[in-house]
Every structure is written in structure tokens, then in C-alpha cells.
Amino acid sequence: MLSAAENETLTRTGPDMPMGRMMRRFWLPVCSSHQVAEPDGDPLRTQLLGEYLVVFRDTDGKLGVLDEFCIHRRASLALGRNEEGGLRCLLHGWKFCTDGTITETPNHASSNVRNKVKQPAYPVIEAGGMVWTYIGDAEKQPPFQKYGWFDAPAENYVVLRINTPVNYLQLYEGGTDSAHVGILHMNMMNPGWKDSAFVDGKTDQDGGKGWGVDAGEQDASLRKAESSKAGMYMSSTVFDETPDLGIEDTPYGFQYAALRDGGPGPDGAATWSVRITPVMLPTGRIIPANAFQFYVFEIPMHDELTATYLVFHGPHEQDRQLIIDTMGLADPRFWNDNDCNFTASWDDRLGQNRAHMKGKNWSGFAGIEQEDSVIAMSMMPIVDRTQEYLVPSDEAVIRLRRRLLDSVALNEAGEDPLGLEIEDYSSVAAIPDSVIPQTENWQDLAPGNMGSGRPAKGEAAE
Ligand code: FES
Ligand SMILES: [Fe+2]
């Protein structure tokens, strides 16, 4: 449970708020490349930390990030004409280059305005299928941070953006909450749930058949497909939703390990099955998955709207449509790849299919991103964390909050926030289920994660 003041500090990201000031110290993604793929294509209207921005690609392919509202009389440049090396405001035709320079002012013949002022513009770097910008103090612009997929062939990774109408923190917390994976995402992680009593030994409410369904009713091919999708992501061990947690602070935030009993090893000695998740403040994490490194960034557009960027980076070509299907994003009632908006609404109970919940579909939703987004929306736009009742399995969520508050405090004290000095994240990796003797340190599985090393048994507290 947090105080109301702590909750405000953690969730408010405007320019005059401590979290907003801390996040403005970093380069952040402002859109995915495919949203502004075409030279002279449609300008993109978007938001970042409450700022209204327009992103466009000029005739030469150069990207610009400008304040949305024209410096003349504030018309939206998102409606402008993108042609011949610049973005032209529709109202009086002022024309802007990617760096905000004004090249034409048709309603003002003198060059004095052109020479004197500029449209506010921000530095841009396109990397890894994403467009990154820095909207903080120009004097303090940090080095651009490199991630592991930036040098990969473009066909080996897929970037998806999902704009969900909730505060970034409840999505970010979902990513550090290992215990929900085997429950909320039951359909994918344990498609056999229909045959068995509910997890962790609770009473089977249907006299032994589990949730009102005969095993004989199962559609074997569907279950096989679900199992193979799950295999892309995680092994069935995540079905144990009460792992020991190992957590340690790192220079960029923290990493945590879910430690589950791996059974006896070849020599009969006890083992851990280990999954490691690094959490790179202020917005990133890497989810352990079998088929790829699965990066997630939760970027506040404003305090009640978050752009989630999912990056799937594997050693081979990735199938964008398969990933969209698997994440539950193929249904246009929920999302589309053009405006990227997650459009579930309480008008129809966020799209939940209650009829399917009796024996067919555990959550009534399809796919893990659909499930994560609707659950975050169900908490209201900003969670009231003064009303929670936390338990030990929430420890990584608690650590996330603490590290974010640590980072804000550093920044407010005039120091650099956590992770700002790290220029290369290529060595930081998530580790999907890996079995090690219980006598070994889980940190040794991820030597590039900048951990300090801890005893092997899950000692969560520092
Ligand atoms: S408002 Fe843009 S040119 Fe006048
Ligand atoms: Fe989830």
C-alpha cells in the first residue's frame, strides 16, 4: 500500500511533476517506424509525457518531431501538407523543416519571422523499428541507449504499439508480477485447465471434472495449437504461480528471478527452474520467452494513456501476423495496426465473452496482450494504491515502485536518475526457464545483467 502522495509521485508525468522531470531525462520512443513509414506520408499526431507532438517523414526520408500546434496561431500540424521537404500548416501555409526551421510564411512577405523563430522541434533517432526522441532539457541531453535488437536484420524482429487508456504504472507493474502469468493467462499457459481442478489445490467445484467440462469435450487440435503458442513464450512451469522470488537491485533498476522446484537433477540433487526478468527503468523490461527476447516499454502519452511497445527479437525471421494473432490483437474490436489504439470499452464489458468462460476460455478474452490491457483498464485509469492489500508474491511490484521513487529522488537531488549512464543494453537479457542446481547462483545465468550476485536460494530481500 502506498500513501496518496507516493501514488501521485509515481503516476504523474507532466512537465512540472517529479516523475515527469525524471522521465524527461531519457530518450523515449515516440512512435513505431511503420507509423511514419512513407516519405511525405501522413503526419502522425501523438503524445509523450503529456506533450502534444507531430511526427513526420519528409521527402528525403528524414524524420521530424515537432510540437503539434503551429507557432503562428496554433493550428494542428497533424492536418498539414507533407511535401517537398517539409510540413506545411494548412491554415496560412507556414512550412517547417524537420528541425523546426520555417522556410515559408505565405501570409508574411518579410523574412524576419523566418529568421527569428522556429517551431519547437526535438532530436530524433530511428533505431530498431522505433522512432526515439528526447524532449528534456537540451543542455542535459544524454547519450542514446542501445538495445540488443538494434543491429539485427529487420526481418528478425517485430515491433507492435498498443495505446491503452490507463496510467503507465499499472501496465508496468503487470510486467513485474510473475504470479499473474499462470492465472490471468491460463488459456495460453495451461490449456489443460479445462481437464483439471483449479490451480494450487483449491476445491474442484465441479466434482472432479474441473470447471464444468468433460475431458472428452476438449478440442484436441485447439489445445495443441494453444500449447505450441505457449511454447513460443514460456514453458509450462509458469503454471506454478507461487515461485520463490529472487530480487536484486541493478544500476538500471533491478532484476528478479522466479525460482520454481526443478525436480532432481541428473545427479539426484535438487534443482531450480529459473526465469529471470530484467527491469530497465524508467519504462522497460524484458520478459523471459523461449523463442525470442521479448522487450516491453510502457511509455506515458499522458497520465491516463500509455503507449506499450512490444518488441519480439529472435534469431530467425519473425512472423508479424502470427505474433498479432497470438497476442490477441487480431480482433479489430480491440486493436488495429494503423492507429494502434486499444479500443475495448465497458459498453460491452471490455469485450469479454462470458458464454465462452464456461469450459472453453478461462478469461473470456483471447491472447495475453488483450488480457493484460483489459485487466489494467478494469483498475480504473489510475489505480488508487492507498486501497490495496499486498501479499509476498507482490514483492517485485513493490521493488518497481521503490526503484522508481529512488530514481525520482536522485533526479530531484540534481543527480542522474537510475540507468541514465548506461549506453549499451545489449548484454542485458531475459532468461527463460533454465534448470540449475540449487547450490548455484541464479545470477550466473545472466552475467550481462549487471547483477551483484546473491545466494542461490530465493532470498528476495536485500
Ligand atoms: S496557424 Fe499555422 S500558418 Fe497560421
Ligand atoms: Fe500479463
Instruction: From 402, 369, 399, select the one nearest 460 (Cα to Cα).
Output: 399
Quick count: other Cβ atoms within 10 Å of Cβ 382? 18
CB 135 within 8 A of CB 120: no
CA of 71 to the centre of ligand 2 (A): 42
Ligand 1 pocket residue status of 247, Cβ below 6 Å? no
Q: 108 and 135: one domain?
A: yes
CA of 332 to the centre of ligand 2 (A): 20
In a domain, 290, yes or no: yes
CA of 276 to the centre of ligand 2 (A): 15
Residue nearest to atom 1 of ligand 1 (CA): 73
The backbone torsions φ and ψ at residue 93, rounded to the nearest 5 degrees and listed phi first, read 85, 10
pLDDT tens sequence across 347-384? 999 999 999 999 899 999 999 999 999 999 999 999 99
Q: 215 and 79: one domain?
A: no
Residues 31, 46: Cα–Cα separation, whole Å:
8
Distances (CA, A) of 418 to 26, 182, 404: 10, 31, 8
CA of 77 to the centre of ligand 1 (A): 9
In a domain, 458, yes or no: no
Alpha helices, DSSP H only, in 156-273?
168-174, 181-184, 186-189, 220-233
CA of 94 to the centre of ligand 1 (A): 6
Ligand nearest to the CA of 93: 1
Task: Give the position, in ligand 1's atom list, of the atom nearest the Cα of 73.
Answer: 1
Ligand 1 pocket residue status of 72, Cβ below 6 Å? yes
Distances (CA, A) of 413 to 13, 19, 20, 403, 407: 18, 13, 15, 15, 10
Please report, in angstroms and rounded to a whole number, the separation of the first and last CA atoms in the chain.
Answer: 20
In a domain, 146, yes or no: no
Ligand 1 pocket residue status of 312, Cβ below 6 Å? no
Q: 181 and 87: one domain?
A: no
Q: Given ligand 1 and candidates 67, 92, 105, 108, which is best to mutate, with the most ligand atoms within 8 Å of its CB?
A: 92
Instruction: Please count the structural domains in the chain.
Output: 2
Residue nearest to atom 4 of ligand 1 (CA): 92
Q: Given ligand 1 and candidates 54, 67, 91, which is best to mutate, with the most ligand atoms within 8 Å of its CB?
A: 91
Q: 89 and 132: one domain?
A: yes
Could you tell me the CATH number of the domain that includes residue 137? 2.102.10.10
In a domain, 147, yes or no: no
Q: Encode the chain (462 residues) as per-residue pLDDT tens digits.
A: 799 999 999 999 999 999 999 999 999 999 999 999 999 999 999 999 999 999 999 999 999 999 999 999 999 999 999 999 999 999 999 999 999 999 999 999 999 999 999 999 999 999 999 999 999 999 999 999 999 999 999 999 999 999 999 999 999 999 999 889 889 999 988 888 877 645 443 433 333 323 222 333 333 434 444 545 555 655 545 556 678 889 999 999 999 999 989 999 999 999 999 999 999 999 999 999 988 999 999 999 999 999 999 999 999 999 999 999 999 999 999 999 999 999 999 999 999 999 999 989 999 999 999 999 999 999 999 999 999 999 998 999 999 999 999 999 999 999 999 999 999 999 999 999 999 999 999 999 999 999 875 443 344 444
Q: 402 and 258: one domain?
A: yes
Q: 251 and 109: one domain?
A: no
Residue 412's identity, in one-letter code, is E
Residues 244, 393: Cα–Cα separation, whole Å:
8
Residue 354's identity, in one-letter code, is R
Ligand nearest to the CA of 376: 2
In a domain, 287, yes or no: yes
Look at residues 106, 141, 176 and tell me which one is the last residue of a structural domain. 141
CB 313 within 8 A of CB 292: yes
Q: 375 and 411: one domain?
A: yes
Q: 113 and 192: one domain?
A: no
Residue nearest to atom 3 of ligand 1 (CA): 92
Residue 459: per-residue pLDDT: 45
In a domain, 187, yes or no: yes
CA of 368 to the centre of ligand 2 (A): 6
Look at residues 109, 141, 173 and tell me which one is the last residue of a structural domain. 141
Look at residues 83, 114, 141 and tell me which one is the last residue of a structural domain. 141
Lay out the sheet containing 28-32: strands in order across.
28-32, 130-133, 124-127
Q: 170 and 56: one domain?
A: no
Residue 414's identity, in one-letter code, is G
Ligand 1 pocket residue status of 349, Cβ below 6 Å? no
Residues 462, 448: Cα–Cα separation, whole Å:
20
Q: 136 and 261: one domain?
A: no
pLDDT tens sequence across 405-426? 999 999 999 999 999 999 999 9
Q: 118 and 172: one domain?
A: no
Ligand nearest to the CA of 369: 2
Residue 144's identity, in one-letter code, is F
Range of the domain at 70: 27-141
CA of 102 to the centre of ligand 1 (A): 11
**Can you read off the three cell numbers belonging to residue 244?**
520463490
CA of 394 to the centre of ligand 2 (A): 14
Ligand 1 pocket residue status of 62, Cβ below 6 Å? no
Ligand nearest to the CA of 71: 1
Residue 282's identity, in one-letter code, is P
Residues in Cβ contact with 39 at an 8 Å cutoff, skipping those fewer than 6 apart = 57, 58, 59, 60, 61
In a domain, 440, yes or no: yes
3-state secondary structure of 442: helix
Residues in Cβ contact with 16 at an 8 Å cutoff, skipping those fewer than 6 apart = none
Residue 226: per-residue pLDDT: 52
Residues 429, 306: Cα–Cα separation, whole Å:
24
Q: 54 and 177: one domain?
A: no
In a domain, 7, yes or no: no
